[in-house]
Amino acid sequence: MKMNSAQIEQTLSQFEAEAIPPDHPVMPQLQRMFGDHTYFLDSCGLNIVEPMETDKKDERLGVVINLADWSDVSATSLQPHQPQSTELTVTLGPDGSH
């Protein structure tokens, strides 16, 4: 899911991470590997947020999906793996369905 700045801010208020800016030099490689998303780095590694189905029409939730784990203790290298859904969900707000 590609997020706008309000969605990124909303997500970061609920998820301790850092968004990778769209103009970061690593973005073309991430997009080739994983698609067009907003990417987040946290203590576990590289993540994206995907929309979730909910019963409420006015509630938009997303689930954090981990794409790569840190491969070293200094958190300087990532090891990609199959996408893994985490138990962390975030409220995306009314503009969450993109």
Q: What is the pLDDT along the chain (98 residues), one digit of tens a residue?
A: 999 999 999 999 999 999 999 999 999 999 999 999 999 999 999 999 999 987 777 778 999 999 999 998 888 899 999 999 999 999 987 644 44
Q: What pLDDT does 58 receive?
A: 75
Q: How many whole angstroms separate alpha carbon 97 and alpha carbon 24?
A: 25
Q: Which pLDDT does position 94 carry in this prediction?
A: 62
What's the predicted TM-score (pTM) here? 0.89
Looking up tokens 């769209």 gives: 22
Q: What are the tokens at 25?
A: 């030099």
Collapsed DSSP state (helix, strand, coil) of residue 34: helix
Q: What residue segments make up the domains of the chain, in order of their start? A: 5-91
Cα–Cα distance, 68 to 85 (Å, whole number): 12
